[in-house]
Structure 1
Amino acid sequence: MARFVDRVVIHARAGSGGNGCASVHREKFKPLGGPDGGNGGRGGSVVLVVDPQVHTLLDFHFHPHIAAPSGKPGAGGNREGATGADLILKVPDGTVVLDDQGRILADLVGAGARFYAAAGGRGGLGNAALASRARKAPGFALLGEKGEERDLTLELKTVADVGLIGFPSAGKSSLVSTISAAKPKIADYPFTTLAPNLGVVSAGDHTFTVADVPGLIPGASSGRGLGLDFLRHIERCAVLVHVVDCATLEPNRDPLSDIDALEAELAAYQPTLQGDSMLDDLAERPRAVVLNKIDIPDAKELADMVRPDIEARGWPVYEVSTVARIGLRPLIFGLWDMVAAYRVASPPPPPRRPVIRPIPVNEKAFEVRPDGTGGFIVTGSRPERWIAQTQFDNDEAVGYLGDRLARLGVEDELIRKGATAGCAVTIGDVTFDWEPTTPAGVDVVPSGRGTDIRLDQTDRVGAAERKAARKARREHADGPEEGQ
């Protein structure tokens, strides 16, 4: 049996970029062929696309972990790696995307609406692209960037013209099955409807959609019953219709008290799409009241009694019986008139366009702050990206990283902040001992491929030398004991 799922949490991971290639062209009778390492391919992105044929988030419920393919590494002969294909995920119309903080990232309405849930990482540059006047044959390449990883919440808000609301067993599902071709589950016990049902209704040459929302009870806006999970489905409904059971045998219930109780819940509910430009607030939506089950004599008398009080509120009232099919035609055309009036009063939403947010010219590219232990932390998109792209087992690649950081101004900012030789500097996931005497950002004399002569120009004792000195001291301390 198919299940209706309208809220899921997915873990989207985009593909990583392929590594660049460090290669030198070798061919007979062609000395000094030069670098020919190609760039790595870009990783695939995770993209959400609205598909009118999809009506539930069930697939994501069973498969919440989503990963796009990574890009391929570059190769010699200036061959670039293959690009990872974007992973297209089909979602229903009306899907809202939220981040792990509950902030709205996208409101996907309309066929073809797209949202990039996770961006693929860029591929690393090969040594052919890194060649310059100072480095004619680089012995290193850049690593590919990791793909973006995000935890996202997908919420489905049914897109319908008319939303039917009412207490459990008020006859909403029966009404939808009678006026449309929808076939929801119908039974004589409360909370039979566990998922919204959508039906298409024909009013002459016009059509509109009707959503049957599961039964609401007092306290639904604060989590009682099923109301909190399904109140979101009426946020996009242009017209709200109270379906009232005039034949209920429950004590302390009558049509007016039922309507007042549900109106109180609608007023207390805080929609996720606060300030949605497409629709007004729930309190301002047009209302109609359907007095159901008038085929029962007592219910007909009660409907005649409360009808004047409801009409005094300015709401149209329809007396119907889904079993005897009484009053359905006036109801259908009356609802269409309300939907048509709302469509005329509310202009269609403008077409959605991609939003481009360029980085301001004067925005600070990085920030240096003390870590509280005598070291410093450097944050910024570019320094952190450069760290992730560097092969730290290649001295030439480390020297190139130092040049990039110096040109960006990280060295000068560290000095201004009071950094001293040997203090720990953390960028991204890497912590290293800072050497202010190492010249960086200037043209250097090339040394062997994969090496950088500047990294050897330091008076500080390296880790290997310190380890050897400790070992010698231990051996010297153990010497007298062995001679006794």
Structure 2
Amino acid sequence: MTTFVDRVELHVAAGSGGHGCASVHREKFKPLGGPDGGNGGRGGDVILVVDQSVTTLLDYHHKPHRSATNGKPGEGGNRSGKDGQDLVLPVPDGTVVLDKAGNVLADLVGQGTSFVAADGGRGGLGNAALASARRKAPGFALLGVPGGMMDIVLELKTVADVALVGYPSAGKSSLISVLSAAKPKIADYPFTTLVPNLGVVTAGETVYTIADVPGLIPGASQGKGLGLEFLRHVERCSVLVHVLDTATLESERDPISDLDIIEEELKQYGGLDRRPRMVVLNKIDVPDGKDLAEMVRPDLEARGYRVFEVSAVAHLGLKELSFALAEVVGGARAAKPKEEATRIVIRPKAVDDAGFTVVQEEDGLFRVRGEKPERWVRQTDFSNDEAVGYLADRLNRLGVESELMKAGARSGDGVAIGPEENAVVFDWEPTVMAGAEMLGRRGEDHRLEVPRPAAQRRRDKQAERDEADKEYDDFEPF
């Protein structure tokens, strides 16, 4: 028998970006033909997509760890690495995505609705992309950024127009089987229904979905019995239908007390008692059931309920019930606000937003936080002095060194870039020129320099200013 799973914890990991390549073009008579290292490929995303053919989260219950593929590293000859393939995970319509703390990240309703659960890492730039007027032959490349990782919780809330609620063995499964083409398991013992059943009903020109919820008992909203596991499946419904058993064999039960108990559970769960509700008195094909239905009907109508007497076995009163539900569903659909066309919202960055923060912690350590500096640190090969100098250049142009001075940092103070659990820590030494500028340009010997004409000096100075303004971070290879 197929197992129904409507809540799982999923561990997703996006692909990491491929490393850039540091390469120099070489051929006969051209021993130093210039940098030709390609860029690394981007890592694949992990994407959740609604698929109407999927009805349960069972697959993720058995395989909770999912990963996208990594980007390939760049190669010489200006060959960029291949991008990693996105991992698309199909989920049922009505899936809610939460983080470990219970915060809602996405509510996936409607075929094709998607949510990126983890972003793939950016590929590192090769030395061909890092070449400039000042740095004509970089001897380094940037590393790929690791892909995002996240632990998420998936909860399925059935998308249906009508929900049938009531005690176990009240006849909900039998009713849905005769109103629709659904074929749930039916028997005459309690807790037959262990999963919500969904059916499609056609009444005139209206087509709507109807779901029966596993039997509720007193205390269901606090976790007793099966009710708490499935009350979430009625949250999206337009109308709730109380199915009351008029032929119960339990002497301490009657339709009125059953209704009051279920209403209290809906109220305790939160908000469900305010939904439009109708009452179905089932099993009137039994003589005693017919008599009891006629007896309690005036009391129920006095409470404001629309009451229908039916028999799922004898097919009595089903047409009237079906069209009455279609009327309520149609009204609910008409009352819903029309979806507005998607608008593109542009939120420009504040003019005083530096893109990072510098905070001195209690132990005297200065911590730098920001998307750019943290990513730049992850992209740096610290075994390569030139790459470290390039990182220093970037941080200096971003204004990190100036902010450290304003915050009171002095030579030799500890500085950490990144969060506490994954930071790069170093002793700060303020510089007038950042590292790569002090290293000089590859292939040059300052001892052989000759005086340059004034016009050439002006052009070189302008080239240096242009280079200082250039931002390689936003470079995206085609």
Q: Out of 405, 408, 417, which is 1:418 matched to?
A: 408
Structure 2 CA distance for aligned equivalents of residues 359 and 166 of structure 1 = 54
Flag the 1:49–1:124 CA change in 2: closer, same or farther, 3 A. Answer: same
Note the C-alpha offset of 1:71.
0.3
Note the C-alpha offset of 1:252.
3.4
Flag the 1:205–1:418 CA change in 2: closer, same or farther, 3 A. Answer: closer
The answer for unaligned runs of 5 or more in structure 2 is 444-478
Note the C-alpha offset of 1:156.
0.9
Are positions 1:332 and 2:329 aligned together?
A: no
When the two structures are superposed, what TM-score results if normalisation uses the length of structure 2?
0.87
SS at match of 1:249: coil
Structure 2 CA distance for aligned equivalents of residues 441 and 179 of structure 1 = 76
When the two structures are superposed, what TM-score results if normalisation uses the length of structure 1?
0.86
Partner of 1:323: 313
Partner of 1:290: 280
Q: In terms of mean alpha carbon deviation, does 181-190 or 342-351 score higher?
A: 342-351
Note the C-alpha offset of 1:205.
4.2
Deviation track 1:38-70 (CA, whole Å, cap 9, x = no partner) reads 110000000111111111111111111000001
| Alignment RMSD (CA, Å) | 2.0
Deviation track 1:440-480 (CA, whole Å, cap 9, x = no partner) reads 2884452558xxxxxxxxxxxxxxxxxxxxxxxxxxxxxxx
Note the C-alpha offset of 1:338.
1.6
Note the C-alpha offset of 1:250.
2.5
SS at match of 1:256: helix
CA contact (8 A) 1:375 1:419 kept: no
5 Å matches for 1:48-67?
48-67=48-67
CA contact (8 A) 2:22 2:76 kept: yes
Are positions 1:436 and 2:430 aligned together?
A: yes
Deviation track 1:8-32 (CA, whole Å, cap 9, x = no partner) reads 1101100000000001111212354
Flag the 1:64–1:356 CA change in 2: closer, same or farther, 3 A. Answer: farther
Note the C-alpha offset of 1:91.
0.8
CA contact (8 A) 2:138 2:442 kept: no
SS at match of 1:373: coil
Partner of 2:219: 219
Structure 1 CA distance for aligned equivalents of residues 323 and 263 of structure 2 = 24
Structure 1 CA distance for aligned equivalents of residues 400 and 52 of structure 2 = 51
Query: What amino acid sits opposite 1:60 in the alignment?
Result: Y
Structure 2 CA distance for aligned equivalents of residues 160 and 206 of structure 1 = 14
Flag the 1:362–1:420 CA change in 2: closer, same or farther, 3 A. Answer: closer
Note the C-alpha offset of 1:418.
2.2
Flag the 1:398–1:442 CA change in 2: closer, same or farther, 3 A. Answer: closer
CA contact (8 A) 1:134 1:444 kept: no
CA contact (8 A) 2:106 2:115 kept: yes
Are positions 1:134 and 2:134 aligned together?
A: yes
5 Å matches for 1:40-189?
40-189=40-189
CA contact (8 A) 1:18 1:143 kept: yes
SS at match of 1:177: helix
SS at match of 2:90: strand
CA contact (8 A) 2:388 2:435 kept: no
Flag the 1:230–1:425 CA change in 2: closer, same or farther, 3 A. Answer: same
Flag the 1:355–1:64 CA change in 2: closer, same or farther, 3 A. Answer: farther
Query: What amino acid sits opposite 1:238 in the alignment?
Result: S
Flag the 1:11–1:291 CA change in 2: closer, same or farther, 3 A. Answer: same
Partner of 1:346: 336
Note the C-alpha offset of 1:411.
1.1
Query: What amino acid sits opposite 1:247 in the alignment?
Result: A
Are positions 1:249 and 2:249 aligned together?
A: yes
CA contact (8 A) 2:99 2:151 kept: yes
CA contact (8 A) 1:406 1:441 kept: no
CA contact (8 A) 2:389 2:437 kept: no
Q: In terms of mean alpha carbon deviation, does 191-200 or 369-378 score higher?
A: 369-378
Structure 2 CA distance for aligned equivalents of residues 67 and 382 of structure 1 = 25
Tell me the percent identity: 66
Note the C-alpha offset of 1:375.
2.2
Q: Out of 400, 404, 413, which is 2:390 matched to?
A: 400
Note the C-alpha offset of 1:361.
4.5
Flag the 1:191–1:364 CA change in 2: closer, same or farther, 3 A. Answer: farther
Partner of 2:368: 378
Query: What amino acid sits opposite 1:311 in the alignment?
Result: E
Deviation track 1:64-98 (CA, whole Å, cap 9, x = no partner) reads 10000010000111111000111111111111111
Partner of 1:200: 200
CA contact (8 A) 1:134 1:445 kept: no
For this pair of structures, how many residues does the alignment match? 439
